[in-house]
Every structure is written in structure tokens, then in C-alpha cells.
Amino acid sequence: MSTKLSDLNAADRDDFVAALGNVFEYSPWIAEQAAASRPFSGVKALFAVMKDVVDRAPAETRLALIKGHPDLANKTQRAAGLTHESNAEQNSAGLDRLSDAEFEAFERVNNAYKAKFGIPYIVCVRRHTRDSILRDFERRLPNDAQTELRTSIEEICRVAALRLDQLVIGDDRLSVHGRLSTHVLDTHSGKPAAGISVVLTELSDLGEARVVARAVTNLDGRTDQPLIGGRPVPIGRYELMFSVGDYFAGRGVPMSDPPFLDQIPLRFSVSDPEGHLHVPLLVTPWSYATYRGS
Amino acid sequence: MSTKLSDLNAADRDDFVAALGNVFEYSPWIAEQAAASRPFSGVKALFAVMKDVVDRAPAETRLALIKGHPDLANKTQRAAGLTHESNAEQNSAGLDRLSDAEFEAFERVNNAYKAKFGIPYIVCVRRHTRDSILRDFERRLPNDAQTELRTSIEEICRVAALRLDQLVIGDDRLSVHGRLSTHVLDTHSGKPAAGISVVLTELSDLGEARVVARAVTNLDGRTDQPLIGGRPVPIGRYELMFSVGDYFAGRGVPMSDPPFLDQIPLRFSVSDPEGHLHVPLLVTPWSYATYRGS
Amino acid sequence: MSTKLSDLNAADRDDFVAALGNVFEYSPWIAEQAAASRPFSGVKALFAVMKDVVDRAPAETRLALIKGHPDLANKTQRAAGLTHESNAEQNSAGLDRLSDAEFEAFERVNNAYKAKFGIPYIVCVRRHTRDSILRDFERRLPNDAQTELRTSIEEICRVAALRLDQLVIGDDRLSVHGRLSTHVLDTHSGKPAAGISVVLTELSDLGEARVVARAVTNLDGRTDQPLIGGRPVPIGRYELMFSVGDYFAGRGVPMSDPPFLDQIPLRFSVSDPEGHLHVPLLVTPWSYATYRGS
Amino acid sequence: MSTKLSDLNAADRDDFVAALGNVFEYSPWIAEQAAASRPFSGVKALFAVMKDVVDRAPAETRLALIKGHPDLANKTQRAAGLTHESNAEQNSAGLDRLSDAEFEAFERVNNAYKAKFGIPYIVCVRRHTRDSILRDFERRLPNDAQTELRTSIEEICRVAALRLDQLVIGDDRLSVHGRLSTHVLDTHSGKPAAGISVVLTELSDLGEARVVARAVTNLDGRTDQPLIGGRPVPIGRYELMFSVGDYFAGRGVPMSDPPFLDQIPLRFSVSDPEGHLHVPLLVTPWSYATYRGS
């Protein structure tokens, strides 16, 4: 699905626009104008030009860009059909599987926001969980119109950057990905803990917790892949659950019955979707520790 | 409600039996026989004699003692009326508030056990949670009849010891109580963490988690009372939840948004109801540790 | 050697003065004046009156009180004879066993201070180590004369409070004692670590380190007595050394050869001589942690 | 100084022997015999053949190889001149800078060993510290002659492997190097601790401690280079000293005076010279922890 930047640099204008027309929702005019600045030395340069096109557009054009975006989690709109990209983005945050309470909360958000500002509530959902979308709304609703127009464009550009990153391969990459990783150190034996089951769950105030990743630690006490990688780590609350009881039992370590520690939950929040967050576990059958590593 | 041992030593036989007739369920004959050994130097001596009466009783008497006990969580029996003591004991373990799944599990246990051994399944429920009662059943069901007769008597004596401990005040006490305590050390400021909300919950595989204690840490980072004290700490799985986000926010400590750590859960099991278990939390906004202390 | 406060309250004036004449160095007039305020309800009340006598004394009397104090670590004065109390106090801080470099440093301090202020450098040495005396001097030397007169009186009162605390027994006690304690928790076995050799050493920049206490942990992982207790914990730098290699070897725990951890040193400073400082060790053969507890 | 394996494969026999004649001390015959097995696919294959030459040599030849080695720390032999390689190896372990007590201990070792076995005491000193050489001697002296002949050849092969690794560059490498690394995590701020001075010292029972490495942590809380890398990590006891007081003071963190923690020493032993040993520090102004990582 992705194209080499060199091919786009060499393509005729129509193919260039066809390839990048959806980077900004329903707005191929941005790719059209950016085409004239070819060749691009890298993906960052390409994105900078597209962003510049948006920034220099007349106010009414920018407003139309904003208004072209769908509501979040709006069932009617979803039934009528979103762009392929919007649909995938909303699903990534679980907006297609909301609890009733969450659905009502999103409807309230959309309506309250539209009532105040006359534009849809826009947020780059790939950088968020259900909870943090609602939380951000509470923070943004008191803003004035000017601030929200600016914030909407910023969020639109974040969406566009993530779409562009998937579409175009160049020598450089946009800094749009984060990483969440863990490792387990068995301080009872002084070795990395291999074979420990790890489950990462996204927590939610209004809806159900959602399993985001499952893994088993390898010989190095790490997971072969980061728990989240190659994408933003959505802002939100998480729980990592480590099955240490099975691990120590399997090693024949003397324990109480039932074992003092069995399933160890670590709860933490992500605040920087593009950052590297490392949440390790140092553990014996009788003690454990964690810290925010990098 | 409780009586001094010295008064019991001096009481006439009928009053002695009236006071201690229910220490063993429906079995005043045990108190009657024990009365002859007065005076008792202490509560331990008194209990030893009562236990001795049981141990020396003919097999059929001991069987009758066992059969006099009610089923656990049996709604029909509960409706018909249990002894005051049995009722309070079953309620202490939450057997009056079972989920449907738990109720079915208990019914299965009672029936399977009675079908195999011809006696009710007896366990000292004040030393257990719902989960550990069911777990112990799985362990005991494969036993032979002789083992279970012996185990039943042991559990009956544990029940009796706890009843006696409540009824009689002497210079000594039976070793029937444990303690569960915590403290929170703020290693960010190097001081005990005061004002932290702590909630202790009993976890359950089949039913609802049940809040067992709520407390707020004092200036010493401890709770004014132990989380559980003056009674056995029921065998089972627990979660301690510490509201550290509010604490650090209240102190103006710089944090991420949302805070990396907010509600910290510590999950652990109790295996020794009469032991002293200390589960502390050492915490900064970015790290924490716990261990089994004493 | 110590007297009951009730006896002092009832004693004739001369005996009262004889008992307390040395509480302030070479200054029985303070006890003489305080005698009139008898009876004292407690030791704190007695000390408050004595301190008040000092505070209300004419400036020249206060100056004479200050000038009556010996230099610190002055060999000539020591040879000529100090009061019993001064001698014991200076020895407690090791001023009788200085290295050459330390001796020169103290001589320099005394001379520089006397040259600037015309009074001896006075500090309550029972609250200090060699290093912290010299360190405090560096901090005080830039002060003005008024400040140093006030500070000298404060230090003299601290000396007097400690002397009084040793001399008089009442229902209350002056808050002049601190405590330094430790405990070792073996998080490999989940139990207090018994039988671990612990050595507390006072560190020194210019002189030799000095062993202050030796102990072995008991079944509770603690030392039977606090490492320092019943006296101020001298301000200064310390090292606690724990022999964990022998401990784990004695328990047959598998270790590397040589053991990864053997002698574990914890270095820390004391800043509050009257405070309670707890420095625990949580340890496995492969990890350890410590924190300032209370 | 190093040569490509491909060049050695292509070289004439004399050049090959000239290049590798000193891999085994005073024993060019090993390279001479190995030359016939060319071409070698890699350095491991080359070393395997050289080792095989040794293993297949007649007993008297092997004994001569052993006897060709110098004593450790023998001043007379050193004055008369060692091979360049032996000299560098002995210096690497500090055998040129022994204290009197150490020198006597080494003399005792050499003499006792030679008296019992009639051969010099041989150990691959690049894998050892002064202490561990003496410690290994105590372990080996009770052995029988056969064991010691075998052990001597093993140690000679370890020496040779390290020499060969330095001399020849191929596509593969011998597994003769270890690594010792650290990192500092500031759990007060939740970030890697940059700018912390770290000093690694080799400890010695009989002689002076010797600084092995000095570094300052970078923005990642790590040192730019491993503390020890690209060579075996000598078996022995070490102390890592971290200047955390300066670090926290520089960040304006509130601390006691003097700071509770200032210079933090971590003492540990290395037992596996070819392993990767990671010794991190997690630290606040009031607490710290370390563990054996990998």
C-alpha cells in the first residue's frame, strides 16, 4: 500500500494527488498544491510543505477542512460510511465497541462541542484511548473559538502525519511513533525471568477494559516485540499483568500456599504517545518493584 | 457478653455450662465434662481441657458432634435458623452474600462432600474467604474418610477456640488472631506519606470483590488501626489500593498528565491467618516497591 | 550518679547547687538562682528556669560564661585538666584521638575563631562528629559577633540540657536523644534476616574511620538495641556494613563464586541528632535496596 | 598490529609463523604445525586447530610449553625481560604495582606451587585481579599433579585465545570478551540521571584499591562506553561510586544538610569474565536500589 518517495517525486501530478489525496480528510487540494514543490528530499520535507499549504489557506478553506471531519463514534455517520482512513482510526481507539455509557458520553461531547463552536470535535484518535478523548474534551470545552480552530488544525495535522507515515517510504521518517516495553528481572535467581506471561490492558472509566497486547518474556526477560511499537502509544491508563506465581512454581521455588504473589498488576498512565516508555518488573516471590524507565 | 475466667472458676456448674455450652456447636456436654477440671489457670488451659474432652469422646459421640454442624451457605438451613454463632461466622466470610456462581459452587461442595463422606463439609470459616473455602474443599475431597474425620474435628476445635476467645477473659489469650498492616513511605520526600487513602479488598474468582477495610494513612504513614486485627486474617487473595496520585498532586510535586502513577494496586495472598503480615509501599511519582514484611 | 527530681525539690539549697552546679560549665550561679523557683513539676520545667536565668543574665556575665569554656581538642588545656563533664564530652566525639591532620584543623579553627570573636569556639560536641564540628565552623566563621554570641549560648544550653538529662530523673524527659536503627529483610526467603553482622562506622575526611557500633541481627531482622540510642545521634557521615555473603552462604542459597554481593556498605549522613533515623536493608543475593525510614 | 585472516591464509608459511609465533609463549612450533591446515574459515577455526596441536603434542612437549612460562610478579624475571605479551598481561592485572604484602603473597604462591608441582603457577591474568589470582591459587594448590597439568594447559589456551583475538581479524570473533556497564535512573524525577560522576575501583585485600574506570553519565543515564568492555572483566571485587549528592544539589532538589545520600558505593564481585554484567542504580535523595542486570 505504501509508495516510495522517489516514485512520488517522479510521478505525474495526477498520480501524486491520487496517492496523497486522502492524507488530509476529503482535501486533495492540499496534495495538489504541494505537488508543485517537488522533488522532496524526505518525508519530513513533504509533510512540512503539506502543513504549510494548510497554514496558508484562507480561513474559510481551513474551516471547510475542519467541517469535513466526521464526529467521533457517531453511529449514523458510521452507518452512512466514513473514509477508509477515518474508519480505521476510530476503530483503533475502540470507538466501534463502546459501552452504552461511553457511547452516551461521546454523543454528549460531540453535541456540546458543536453547540458551542459550530465544528465537529476533532482529535487524533490514534494518540488516544477512549478515556483520554473524553478527558481532553473536558479540557478543551472551556477554550475560546480561536484556540479551538487552532487546536483542530493541529489535531488534523497529527492525523495527516500518521497517514503520510504509512503511505510514503523515504530515507527519513516522521517522529510519530512511540514505544511501550517491559522486562522482568528475577532478583531471586539474579537472572532475567523467561516464560512469564504478560498481558497489557487499556483501562476505561466508563467502559470495559480492553486487552491491548499479550506476550511471554524471552530468555532475556523481555518480549520479542515491544508491547506497543511502530505507532503512537495512546494516552490513557493501562494495567500490565505478570503471572509470576506460575513462573516461580515452575522453578520449584519454595512459596507459601497460596503464593504471596501470583498475578502482579502494574497500573500506570501514558502521557507522551511519541515517547519511549519502559515499565520493568523486578521480582522475587516476596517482593517487587517497578519504575518508569526509558 | 464476655465473662471473666475467675468468675467461671467460681460459678456453679450450671452457670459454667450455660456460659460455655455453645463453644462447641450444639454440644453442651463438652462444657459439662470440662467443668469438673476447674479451676483453670488460664484460657489456654481451659481450652486444652475442652479439646481433650472431645479427643477422648467415643467415636460415635464425635461423629454426632460433626453431624451437628450446618452446611455452609445452605439457604434452607439458614432460613430455618442457625445458632447465633454459626450465623455470625458464616456472615463474616460473606456466605450470606454469595453470587449465583458462588452459591452453586458451595452447593456442589456440600453435596459432593456429603455424598462421599456422609458428614457435612466443616471448615473454620473465620479463617477463610469464599475462594479459600472452595479451594480447601478441592484439596480435601480426595482424602480418605479417616483423614476427614480428623480434619473435621480440627476445624471444629478452631471454631471453638475463636468462640472461647470471645467469651472468656483471662490473664492469657489463645493464639487465634493475626494482623494485616501497611505503611506508605514517600521516598520522593524521604518521609512517611500521610493522608493517603488505602482500600483493602478481598478478591474472589466466582463472585464480587468485597471491600474489607478503608483507611487513611496518619503522620507516621501507617493506619491508626491495622487493616485487619483482633481476629484471624482470612486465607485468600487481596488487593490493597493506594491513592498516590492525589497525594503527590496535593504536595505540588511535578508530574506527567495524566500522572504516571495514580491508583496503585498491590495484590497478594494470605496463607497464615494467625500470622503478622505487613505489606508496605515505598513510592515516588515514578516508581514503587513492596515486600512481605512482618 | 543521678538524682530524683523530687529529692532535689526537697533538698536544702546547698545540696541543690552541689548537684546541679556543673550543668553549666564553671557556673554554679545558675543553679543558685534557679533554686528559688522550686518545686519543679518536671525536668523540662527545671531546664526552662535554668535557661531563663542565663537569658536574663547581664551581657558581661553571659560573656564570662562563654569564656569559661575550654577550646576543643586543645592538648595544653586537656593536659592541665578539664572539668569531668567537658572531658567526657570531648572524648565522646573522639577529640582525644585525632589524626595529625585533624588536630591541625582543630587548632586552626580555635585560633581563627578566637582571633575574630575573642571567645572560644563552642559547640555541643555530643551532637557532632569530628567532621561536622569542622564543617559547622566553616559555616559560622563568616557570621557577625552578635550572631556568634547568641549561637554560643545556644550551644552551651544544648550541652547543659544533656548534662541535666543525665543528672536528674523526673516524670518527664528533655527531648535530647535520637535513635539510629536498622533492620534487614531477606526478600529471597520473604523473612527477616537473622544473624547478619552489622558494623556502624563514623567516616572522617581528615582522620580515621571509627567503629561506633557492632551488632548481629536477631530473629526479627533487627538489632536488640538501636545502633545509637539514649543519646544524640552525632551529625556526620556514616557507613553501615552488612555481611550478607556469609548469611546467604549459611542458608545454602545458590550463589556465584565469588558471591555477587558479600559485604554491603550503606553510606549516609545524619543531620538531625534528636530524630529517629531508620536505615533498613532489603536484600537478595543479587539485589538490594535501602531508604530513609523513621 | 593486527592482520586479516584472509592475508594469513594467503601468506607464505614463514610469514604465517612470524605473525602467530607468540600466540603461545615461546612456542612457534604450534603456529608452524597449524599452518598446514590453512585456509581457515574463521578465527575460531584457526584457534581450534592451534589448540588441537597443543592437545596432541607429546607429554614432554606440553610440559616444556608449561615450563616456558614466567612466574607471576617475579621481579628478577621481569628485570631480565619477559616477552612483550607476558609483560603487558601482567601489567594489566597490576602485577607491576604490588604492595609489599601482595608481593610477598605472590612469591609465596610461586614457590609453594613450584615446590609441589615443579612447574610455574600459570593463570590467564587478563581474566583476574590480584585478589582472585591468589584466591585461585588457594583452590588449586591441593589438586593433584595431573589436574594441574591440565589446568595449566587450559589457562595457557585462554592466554593464547586473547592474544590471537588481538592479532587476527576475521569474520568471526572468539568469545573472550565480557562487559561491565551501569546506568543511573533518577526515580525522584522519573528520568535517566545525566552528569553523575561514576568511579569504578578494583578492591584488594592485601594491596591498594585501584581505580579502573571513571565516567560521567550521559543524557540516557548511561556511560558512553561500558566501564569495562572489549576485554575480559577480571574476576574480583569492585566498588562503583556514584556522586549523587552533587547531582541532586545541582537540580535544586530539597535535601537535608548534610545530604542523607552523597557518595553511594555499590560493592560487588565479578565471577564470569566473559559475561555481561549490568549494575544499575535507581536513586532518590532518600533511597536507592541496585540489582545484577544483564
In this complex, do B190 and D282 lie within 8 Å of one another by their Cβ atoms? no
Find where cell 609489599 sits: D100
H or E segment at D4? strand D3-4
Nearest-CA distance from C59 to chain B in Å? 42
Q: In what order do the strands lie in the sheet with C184-186?
A: C191-192, C184-186, C281-284, C287-291, D287-291, D281-284, D184-186, D191-192
Q: D200 — phi, psi (to 5°)?
A: -105, 125
In chain D, the residue whose alpha carbon lies closest to the alpha carbon of C294 is D286
Instruction: For residues A40 and B254, give the distance between their C-alpha atoms in angstroms, rounded to a whole number.
Output: 41
Residues 6+ apart with CB under 8 A from A244: A184, A193, A196, A261, A262, A263, A264, A281, A283, A285, A288
Q: What gap in Å lies between CA D260 and CA B193, rounded to an integer?
A: 18
Of the candidates D237, D258, D286, the beta carbon closest to that of C292 is on D286
Q: Name the residue facing B284 among D188, D256, D260 (closest C-beta).
A: D188
Q: Grid coordinates in use for A58?
A: 484562507
Q: Which amino acid is at B83?
A: T
For cell 467415643, the residue is B58
CA atoms within 13 A on the CB side of B64: 11
- Three-state secondary-structure class, residue D168: strand
CA distance C229 to C41: 26
| pLDDT reading at A226 higher than 90 | yes
> Which three cell numbers, joined as nine digits, stand for A101?
455509557
This model of the complex carries an ipTM of 0.94
Euclidean distance between CA atoms D163 and D172, whole angstroms: 15
Q: What is the pLDDT of residues B137-191, one digit of tens each?
A: 999 999 999 999 999 999 999 999 999 999 999 999 999 999 999 999 999 999 9
Rounded-to-integer distance, Cα D130 and Cα D171, Å: 34
Cell numbers 481507539 correspond to: A93
- Note the pLDDT tens digit of each residue in D85-134: 999 999 988 898 899 999 999 999 999 999 999 999 999 999 999 999 99
Nearest-Å Rg of the Cα atoms of chain C is 23
Look at residue A105 and tell me whether its pLDDT is greater than 80: yes
Q: Do C284 and A188 touch (CB under 8 A)?
A: yes
What's the rounded Cα separation, in Å, for the pair B210 and B228? 14
> Which residue from D188, D204, D165, D198 is spatially nearest to D280, judged by alpha carbons?
D198
Q: Are C99 and C210 in contact (CB under 8 A)?
A: no
Read off the DSSP letter of residue C286: T
Angstrom distance (rounded) from CA A194 to CA B138: 30
Degrees (nearest 5) of the Cα angle A258, A262, A268?
145
Nearest CA in chain D to A289: D289
3 state SS for A222-289: ECCCCCEEEECCCEEEEEEEEEHHHHHHHCCCCCCCCCCCCEEEEEEEECCCCCEEECCEEEECCEEE
Q: Give the separation between CA A86 and CA A102, rounded to whole angstroms.
A: 19
Which stretches in chain D have pLDDT values below 70? none
Indicate the SS3 state at residue B128. strand
Mutation target vs B (from A271, A276, A277; most B CBs, 10 A cutoff): A271
CA D136/CA D123 separation, integer angstroms = 9
What is the share, in percent, of chain B residues with pLDDT greater than 70?
Answer: 100
pLDDT of residue B153: 98
- The x, y and z cell numbers of residue C158, run together, are 544544648
* DSSP-derived secondary structure for A179-237: EEE-BEEETTTTEE--S-EEEEEE--SSS--EEEEEEE--TTSB-SS-SEEEE---BEE
DSSP string, D225-292: S-SEEEE---BEEEEEEEEHHHHHHHTT----SS-S-SEEEEEEEE--TTSEEE--EEEETTEEEEE-
Compute φ and ψ for D32, nearest 5 degrees.
Answer: -55, -45
**Of the partner residues A132, A135, A287, the one whose CB lies closest to the CB of residue B290:** A287
Q: Which amino acid is present at D130? A: R
What subunits make at least 3 CB pairs under 8 angstroms with D?
Answer: A, B, C
Q: State the pLDDT at residue D42.
A: 97
Question: Taking Cα atoms as reference points, which of B164, B172, B167, B223 lies closest to residue B199?
Answer: B223
Please state, in angstroms and rounded to a whole number, the distance separating the CA atoms of residues B110 and B103.
Answer: 11
Determine how β-strand C184-186 pairs with β-strand D178-181.
unpaired
Q: Which residues of D touch B188 (CB under 8 A)?
A: 188, 284, 286
C-alpha cell at A189: 535467581
Counting one residue from chain B and one from chain C, the pairs whose CB atoms sit within 8 A come to 25
Indicate the residue of A260, A290, A292 with minimum beta-carbon distance to B292.
A260
Distance of CA A199 to the CA centre of its chain: 18
Tell me what pLDDT residue A294 has: 83
Each of the 294 residues of chain C gets a pLDDT tens digit; together they read 799 999 999 999 999 999 999 999 999 999 999 999 999 999 999 999 999 999 999 999 999 999 999 988 888 888 888 898 998 998 988 888 899 999 999 999 999 999 999 999 999 999 999 999 999 999 999 999 999 999 999 999 999 999 999 999 999 999 999 999 999 999 999 999 999 999 999 999 988 999 999 999 999 999 999 999 999 999 999 999 999 999 999 999 999 999 999 999 999 999 999 999 999 999 999 999 999 998
Distance CA D288, CA D262 (A): 11
Q: Would you call A187 and C286 a contact, using CB atoms and an 8 Å cutoff?
A: yes
CA separation, residue B231 to residues B127, B223, B273, B275, C31 (Å): 9, 17, 8, 11, 55
Q: What does the DSSP assignment read for A58-106? A: -HHHHHHHHHTSPPTT-HHHHHH---HHHHHHHHHTTTTS--HHHHHHH
Give bridge partners of residue C128 from the DSSP assignment.
C235
pLDDT tens for B88-138 read 998 988 888 899 999 999 999 999 999 999 999 999 999 999 999 999 999
Closest CA of chain D from C172, distance in Å: 29
Read off the DSSP letter of residue D197: E
Q: Which of A190, A254, A289 faces C285 most closely, judged by CB atoms? A: A190
For residue D108, CA distances in Å to A39, C263, D102, D120 come to 78, 27, 10, 12
CA C235 from centroid of its chain's CA atoms? 7
**Please, what sign has the CA dihedral across residues B12, B13, B19, B20?**
positive
Q: Which chains neighbour B (Cβ–Cβ under 8 Å, 3 or more pairs)?
A: A, C, D
Inter-chain residue contact D287 with B282, CB threshold 8 Å: yes
Tell me the count of A-D CB pairs closer than 8 A.
25
What is the DSSP code (8-state) at residue C237?
E
pLDDT of residue D77: 85
Yes or no, beta carbons of A292 and D190 under 8 Å apart: yes
Nearest CA distance, B274 vs chain C (angstrom): 16
Asked if pLDDT for residue B34 goes beyond 90, the answer is yes
Cβ contact (<8 Å) for D292 and A192?
no
Residue carrying the nine cell digits 497478594? B268
- The set of residues, in sequence order, having a beta carbon less than 8 Å from that of D222 and lying 6+ positions away, is D181, D182, D183, D192
Residue B74 has pLDDT above 90, yes or no: no
3-state secondary structure of C247: helix
E strands, C10-169, are: 168-169
Q: How confident is the model at residue A82 (pLDDT cuts 50, 70, 90)?
A: confident
Within 10 Å of residue D163's Cβ, how many Cβ atoms?
20
Q: If you average pLDDT over every residue of chain B, what do you get? A: 95
Q: Is D265 on the interface with C (CB under 8 A)?
A: yes
Predicted confidence at residue B265, as pLDDT, reads 98
**What per-residue confidence (pLDDT) applies to C61?**
97
pLDDT at D294: 83
Supply the pLDDT for residue B75.
Answer: 83
What pLDDT was estimated at residue C4?
Answer: 97
**Which residue in D193, D174, D139 sits closest to D50, CA to CA?**
D174
Rounded to an integer, what distance in angstroms lies between the CA atom of residue C129 and that of residue C132?
5
| Residue D119 contacts A, CB cutoff 8 Å | no
| pLDDT, tens only, A137-150 | 999 999 999 999 99
Which residue reads 538531625 in cell numbers? C272
Residue with cell 565469588: C258
Quickly list DSSP for B259-284. -S-SEEEEEEEE--TTSEEE--EEEE
* C187 interface with A at CB cutoff 8 Å: yes
| DSSP secondary structure letters along B213-253 | EEEE--TTSB-SS-SEEEE---BEEEEEEEEHHHHHHHTT-
Nearest to D231 by CA among D89, D23, D98: D89
Q: Does C36 touch chain A (CB under 8 A)?
A: no
Chains in touch with C (≥3 Cβ pairs < 8 A): A, B, D
